[in-house]
Amino acid sequence: MSSTKHLFITGGVVSSLGKGITAASIAMLLKRRGYKVAIQKLDPYLNVDPGTMSPYQHGEVYVTEDGAETDLDLGHYERFTDTFCTKNGNFTAGKIYQTVLERERKGDYLGRTVQVIPHITNEIRRAISSMADEDVDIAITEIGGTVGDIESLPFLEAIRQYRHHVGSKNAQFIHLTLVPYIAAAKELKTKPSQQSVGILREIGIMADFLVCRSEKPLEDDHIEKLALFCNVDKGNVIQEVDVENTIYEVPLDLYEQSFDTKILEALDLPVKEAKLDKWTSMVNTYIHPENGEVNIAVVGKYVSLSDAYKSINEALIHGGIANSAKVKLKHIEAESIEGEDLSQVFEDIHGILVPGGFGDRGTEGKIRAIQYARENNVPYFGICLGMQLAVIETARNVAGLKDANSTELAENTKAPVISLMLEQRGITQMGGTMRLGAYPCTLAEGSKSRVAYGAENISERHRHRYEFNNAFKEQLEEAGLLFAGTSPDGMLVEIVERVDHPYFVACQFHPEFKSTPMNAHPLFRDFVKASLENR
Ligand code: GLN
């Protein structure tokens, strides 16, 4: 049996408590104490992965190096720990059922009745074990959803069984809960936490740690009460009060309460020294930047839900930290600016970013924003659809190809400067069929990208079906585009820049997935730098 120890993180009372950030913070602390940590999320919904879901339903779809379309919590995991997750980092109930049902069709169950217990729960246990690699000291499994949901039950049963098999020295239960402040009574209330722990107890799970999310600090008698009625040691009631400045403070708050030390002791692991200096100084730079503020507009179509652009928002913050500046984000609904006076819309804006997206809603507004950036020397950063639209903008307004478009947006356009990738033709299944995950890219000498990366060969993550149409290469070169990054065989355009502009860089891949607070992505760092220079 593997020697990997496990932490299981559940959430109670309400959703959106920040379980992902808590899990990521614990992982970060344990890693900085010298442990090899792996982390995963189990989601109880039935989609096989979130790739087919609208960002409005689910927030951003995060893409791993190995090309899995996953929950955005994996982004937190990678950003807090500076390590890569894999396909095993995210299992949904749909994926678990799919595996079991495929096995059933193959006849693997030899005539037996296939049931939630044991077949689904066994498959969930297999998903957990997939984290328990030889070299992993501690595997953290976050269970999505809220305790008490019907669909969470098989997952909770699976972690109960897992702990039963490996014992408490090898697996600990951490329950994240809400301690609401009732303004009328001027009181923090512990009852919802008691009830949520009660639901866990009914199915045989005794929480070892209680992490209490609250607006205000708990008093000693709240902690006393929570410990007594939730049946946990008083020292294992941890507070997670809303942070003042940034989510990157969360691990430091947990560290102050020796949460990581207590976890290691419970798992019977030696407490090694915590190396937090660099993290602390990063947080300090964020809170007290030396170079003031810079206003950056993100012109997108899912702007009413900021989680839809989670990694981009974070990567811009990282770019700010790298320049010791505070990035102030302004999300602009692309559709709403289609007929507006852009000099007013962007009056106090120092840099414009157009992120990825699908379908044509809002694209004309985005193209206008790009035109504005190009003509007014405002730093521009385009990502995925934001690159494709930058190409269309130059084609239409500089090269004179009035009908230029992407075949995604106008199937019969006379100037298909962006078209469906060859290998995408004939694909009818929507799930997991895009060009996904890490691919190599070669950077052109003399390009801003080459300077930013300080390297000729890079690798970045993708999620798209359409690409630049090479038939228009010469014409667009003449119109001022520089093909700054291509696939090593030169066939696929990965980055375009404008040669006549202070900073106009647009990429087909998603650099936001590889940016972390300790290592800002070079393209975000330099875009923020250019925006600062444009103040
Ligand atoms: N819709 C475009 C494509 O499929 C862009 C995708 C994206 O922005 N992620 O190529």
pLDDT in tens, 173-188: 999 999 999 999 898 9
Cβ–Cβ < 8 Å for 74, 41: yes
How many whole angstroms separate alpha carbon 104 and alpha carbon 85?
A: 29
Residue among 69, 63, 66, 65 at smallest CA distance from 49? 69
Q: Please give the chain's pLDDT, 535 residues, in tens.
A: 579 999 999 999 888 889 999 999 999 999 999 999 999 999 999 999 998 888 888 889 999 999 999 999 999 999 999 999 999 999 999 999 999 999 999 999 988 999 999 999 999 999 999 999 879 999 999 999 999 999 999 999 999 999 999 999 999 999 999 999 999 989 899 999 999 999 999 999 999 999 999 999 999 999 999 999 999 999 999 999 999 899 999 999 999 999 999 999 999 999 999 999 999 999 999 999 999 999 999 999 988 887 899 999 999 999 999 999 999 999 999 999 988 899 999 999 999 999 999 999 999 999 999 999 999 999 999 999 999 999 999 999 999 999 999 999 999 999 999 999 888 888 888 888 899 999 999 999 999 999 999 999 999 999 999 999 999 999 999 999 999 999 999 999 999 999 999 999 999 999 999 999 999 999 999 999 999 999 9
Residue among 315, 320, 313 at smallest CA distance from 294? 320
Cis ω before 502 (30° cut-off from 0): no
**pLDDT at residue 1 in the model:** 56
Phi/psi for 176 (5° steps) reads: -95, 130
Q: Which two three-digit tokens encode residue 73?
A: 């919590």
Ligand 1 contact via 466 beta carbon (within 6 Å): yes
Q: How far is the CA of 361 from the centre of ligand 1 (A)?
A: 13
**pLDDT at residue 343 in the model:** 93
Whats the size of the chain, residue-wise? 535
Angle between helices 121-129 and 153-166 (to 10 degrees): 60
Ligand 1 contact via 408 beta carbon (within 6 Å): yes
Ligand 1 contact via 137 beta carbon (within 6 Å): no
Spell out the long-range contacts of 98-103 with Cβ–Cβ below 8 A and sequence spacing 24 or more. 98/48, 99/123
Q: Which two three-digit tokens encode residue 107?
A: 């006849």
How many whole angstroms separate alpha carbon 382 and alpha carbon 346?
A: 16
Which ligand 1 atom sits nearest the alpha carbon of residue 466? 10
How many whole angstroms separate alpha carbon 405 and alpha carbon 209?
A: 55
Ligand 1 contact via 385 beta carbon (within 6 Å): yes
Q: How far is the CA of 446 from the centre of ligand 1 (A)?
A: 27
Spell out the long-range contacts of 416-420 with Cβ–Cβ below 8 A and sequence spacing 24 or more. 416/469, 417/391, 417/392, 417/468, 417/469, 417/472, 417/476, 418/388, 418/391, 418/392, 418/466, 418/467, 418/468, 418/469, 419/466, 419/467, 419/469, 420/465, 420/466, 420/467
Q: Which two three-digit tokens encode residue 113?
A: 């009745």
- Told to judge if 384 belongs to the known catalytic residues of this protein, a careful annotator would answer yes
Q: How far is the CA of 467 from the centre of ligand 1 (A)?
A: 9
Residues 6+ apart with CB under 8 A from 126: none
Residue among 481, 365, 463, 387 at smallest CA distance from 67? 463
Q: Which two three-digit tokens encode residue 60?
A: 């951003």
- Told to judge if 510 belongs to the known catalytic residues of this protein, a careful annotator would answer yes
Residues 6+ apart with CB under 8 A from 410: 360, 403
Residue among 324, 323, 365 at smallest CA distance from 345? 365
> pLDDT tens across 14-27, in order?
888 899 999 999 99
Which ligand 1 atom sits nearest the alpha carbon of residue 418? 10
Angle between helices 191-202 and 220-230 (to 10 degrees): 20
H helix and E strand count, the chain: 18, 23
Residue among 511, 495, 515, 504 at smallest CA distance from 351? 504
Cβ–Cβ < 8 Å for 527, 381: yes
Distances (CA, A) of 440 to 402, 419, 455: 33, 21, 12
Residues 6+ apart with CB under 8 A from 116: 154
